């Protein structure tokens, strides 16, 4: 289990991004229900997937900053390099 907490700014940004993605997903569902062209649907799905990846990378970036700040203060970082690497690779 990773013991990293998002800082307030990161939490706000990621939450905002996820709410936009939630709207995109609702739009995709509506497109499917309307019988829209599969090319349009897949294009929107790819955009939502990319946006979700970016939100994940923002969380990992915040973790890296927390680790660097902890090390600069001579403290143990909240997560290990291996844990961050595993999180990063889970996005691919």
Distance, CA of 13 to CA of 9 (rounded, Å): 6
pLDDT of residue 1 exceeding 60: no
Please tell me the predicted confidence (pLDDT) of residue 86: 84
- pTM comes to 0.78
pLDDT at 2 over 80: no
Higher-pLDDT residue of 48 and 61 is 48
Backbone angles phi, psi at 16, to 5 degrees: -60, -45
- The residue among 58 and 3 whose pLDDT is bigger is 58
What is residue 61's predicted lDDT score, i.e. its pLDDT?
86
11-90 fold: Methane Monooxygenase Hydroxylase; Chain G, domain 1 (1.20.58)
Q: What confidence score (pLDDT) does residue 5 get?
A: 80
């Amino acid at each position: 289990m990773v013991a990293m907490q998002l800082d307030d700014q990161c939490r706000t940004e990621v939450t905002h991004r996820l709410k936009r993605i939630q709207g995109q997903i609702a739009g995709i569902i509506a497109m499917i229900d309307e019988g829209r062209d599969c090319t349009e649907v897949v294009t929107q799905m790819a955009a939502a997937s990319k946006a979700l990846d970016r939100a994940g990378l923002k969380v990992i970036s915040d973790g890296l900053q927390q680790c660097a700040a902890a090390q600069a203060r001579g403290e143990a970082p909240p997560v290990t390099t291996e844990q961050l690497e595993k999180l990063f690779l889970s996005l691919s």
